[in-house]
Amino acid sequence: MDLYGRDLITTQEWSFDELMAVLDLAAKMKRERFSDRWTSILKNKTFIMFFYNPSVRTRLSFEAAATELGGHAQFMTPSAGRFKTEKKAGETIEDAAKVMARYAAGIGIRILEDKVPYYGAGDEMLREFAKWADVPIINMADDKFHPCQGLADIMGWAEWYGEGPGRPDYDALRGKKFVLTWATGALARSWCSVQEALLIASRFGMHVTLAYPEGYDLDPQVIEWTQQNCAEHGTEFEVVHDPNEGYEGAHIVYARNWMSPNAYRDGVFHKEEEIQKALQYPEWTLTAEKMARTDNAIFTHPMPVDRGNEVTDEVASGPRSAIYDIAENRLHVQKAIMALTMGNL
């Protein structure tokens, strides 16, 4: 599978075989971590990490991935340069992308809800970088998609229903029921992780239930893609608006807060308003009582978890919580992505 030079903006734009090439390599790298097979793949190569938004897992996992492949991850923020915006003069994306591509083997970009004037602006920026850079652009989370998280999710779920760490069984996920439920919370989160979860679950043949209060609809294009993916596999896609519905027979439950479509007005992200609105729905917290109605489901979340709002500690720290396994898998899928798109593999 030749993926050298490919951009990764969302998993939906890669074929199933291409996704499996990443996942198969990630599992090998997890089983054989620090093997000499992997330690020179990015030898003398630099990966630029361009962060508009901070992150614990994303920065640490990408830096560790570059190191374990023999390369170097270089961190930068917009304040390190003079970039053009609607309100001030500066360097264009065309110029920045072309210059950065001369220095590095790949570029990762992270830009989320509070750094953009409207939904989709972050994703548009990544695609503009991809237009001008002749090295891979890796989406480290934008306001629409989070492909690295989606791949870590599916790998983790397949490990839980497979033979354990580093030994996922993706066939075992086919026909399983995946529940994505909105949850109350105090962070006003973007849609990227939950939308990627819908796409990846439906691509791998799972039944999908989406639960949220009225007024918290996700991107219509993502919903359409999810419906199409389910139709191709002959699986069901349903939407419910009751906090206690949809859990029966579930195998994987993903509970996370996300902002409403009304979060942006007049080029401004109304974060505090979104938080106050979300906190009015305490009945949407995931509890052990709700999990008891599932088919012994695992709990999944991209982290950081808003404990006490999105989910109770009893569930988040319980024996069926997959959150730490999935967080670890960010490292391994990112190593595989970097190796295949910019390495000497």
- Residue 43: which CATH number? 3.40.50.1370
User: Which pLDDT score is estimated for 264?
Assistant: 97
Token pair in block for residue 38: 């992997």
Number of domains in the chain: 2
Q: Are residues 28 and 135 both part of a single domain?
A: yes
**Whether residue 345 has pLDDT greater than 90:** no
CB crowding 147-157: b at 16 or more within 10 Å, else e: bbbbbbbbbbb
User: Which pLDDT score is estimated for 80?
Assistant: 77
**Whether residue 81 has pLDDT greater than 90:** no
User: Which pLDDT score is estimated for 25?
Assistant: 98
Q: What residue numbers bound the domain in which 30 lies?
A: 11-144+327-342
Please give the average per-residue pLDDT across 179-202, as a whole number.
97
Q: Are residues 248 and 302 both part of a single domain?
A: yes
Closest CA to 206 of 181, 235, 169, 249: 235
Token pair in block for residue 106: 């790949």
Contact status, residue 4 vs residue 341, Cβ threshold 8 Å: yes
**Whether residue 246 has pLDDT greater than 70:** yes
Contact status, residue 189 vs residue 259, Cβ threshold 8 Å: yes
Token pair in block for residue 246: 């949809």
Q: Are residues 235 and 164 both part of a single domain?
A: yes
pLDDT above 70 covers a percentage of the chain that reads 99
User: Which pLDDT score is estimated for 229?
Assistant: 98
Q: Are residues 54 and 201 both part of a single domain?
A: no
Residue type, 214: E
Average pLDDT, the chain: 96
Residue type, 216: Y
H helices, E strands: number in the chain = 11, 11
Do the bridges between strand 106-110 and strand 207-211 make them parallel or antiparallel, or are there none, so unpaired? unpaired
60 inside domain: yes
DSSP summary character for residue 15: -
CB crowding 25-40: b at 16 or more within 10 Å, else e: bbbbbbeeeeeeebee
2 inside domain: no
Q: Are residues 176 and 249 both part of a single domain?
A: yes
User: Which pLDDT score is estimated for 86?
Assistant: 66
Q: Are residues 160 and 209 both part of a single domain?
A: yes
Q: Are residues 107 and 209 both part of a single domain?
A: no
**Whether residue 85 has pLDDT greater than 90:** no
| Confidence tier at 1 by pLDDT (50, 70, 90) | confident
User: Which SS3 state, helix, strand or coil, does residue 92 take?
Assistant: coil
Q: Are residues 174 and 204 both part of a single domain?
A: yes
Q: Which of 88-92, 123-127, 166-170, 317-321 has the lowest mean pLDDT?
A: 88-92
17 inside domain: yes
Token pair in block for residue 43: 């030898």
DSSP summary character for residue 318: S
* Cα dihedral across residues 220, 224, 230, 234: positive or negative: positive
| Confidence tier at 253 by pLDDT (50, 70, 90) | very high
User: Which pLDDT score is estimated for 84?
Assistant: 63
| Confidence tier at 54 by pLDDT (50, 70, 90) | confident
Q: Are residues 280 and 196 both part of a single domain?
A: yes
Alpha carbons within 13 angstroms on the beta-carbon side of residue 93 total 17
> How far are the Cα atoms of 181, 253, 287, 301, 318 from residue 315, in angstroms, in the given order?
14, 11, 7, 11, 5
pTM of this structure: 0.97
6 inside domain: no
Q: Are residues 189 and 53 both part of a single domain?
A: no
140 inside domain: yes
Q: Which of 86-90, 177-181, 255-259 has the lowest mean pLDDT?
A: 86-90
User: Which pLDDT score is estimated for 79?
Assistant: 83
Q: How many residues does the chain have?
A: 345
Say how far apart CA 287 and CA 313 lie, in whole Å. Answer: 9
Helix or strand holding residue 137 (H, E): strand 137-139
312 inside domain: yes
Cα–Cα–Cα angle for 29, 33, 39, rounded to 5 degrees: 85
Q: Which residue do the tokens 């993916």 mark?
A: 229
5 inside domain: no
User: Which SS3 state, helix, strand or coil, does residue 81 take?
Assistant: coil
What is the full DSSP assignment across 211-245?
A: E--TT----HHHHHHHHHHHHHHT--EEEE--TTS
